[in-house]
Amino acid sequence: MPTLPPSSPRPAGYADVNPADAWAHRDAFVWIDVREPDELISALGKAEGVLNVPLATIPLRHTEFDKSKPTLLVCRSGGRSGQAASWLAANGWPSVYNLAGGMLAWNDLGLPKA
């Protein structure tokens, strides 16, 4: 198991991770962006290597994700991805993270986009 970044645990069973730590440990995660497809081509852009699975489809598509690797959920500000992280944690995902502040925080730090 790779070394994961420091995180802030939540009662819902997932942890928040800040964008700089997520980027530094990017290969440790399966990245899932829960925004709608048109949001990924907006000015906020998207992180490199993300799988786009809109929030409403998480319960239908969760079997597509590699459960053996830590899962990092991403959205615009961290709200929708927090909902998805909570759902995955409640449904048996052992290692779930939420990108704290979402792509807004990612862009504020000037991190690379795809």
pTM: 0.90
Q: Which of 47, 53, 75, 111 is catalytic?
A: 75
Cα–Cα–Cα angle for 24, 17, 79, nearest 5°? 130
Mark whether 75 is an active-site residue. Answer: yes
Q: Is residue 2 helix, strand or coil?
A: coil
Domain borders along the chain are: 14-108
Whole-number pLDDT of residue 4: 63
Whole-number pLDDT of residue 32: 97
Residues 6+ apart with CB under 8 A from 64: 51, 53
Q: pLDDT digit string (tens) for 82-109?
A: 999 999 999 999 999 999 999 999 999 9
Q: pLDDT digit string (tens) for 62-83?
A: 999 888 999 999 999 999 999 9
Asked whether the beta carbons of 7 and 99 are under 8 A apart, the reply is no
Six-digit token string for 23: 């980027």
What's the topology of domain 14-108? Oxidized Rhodanese; domain 1 (3.40.250)
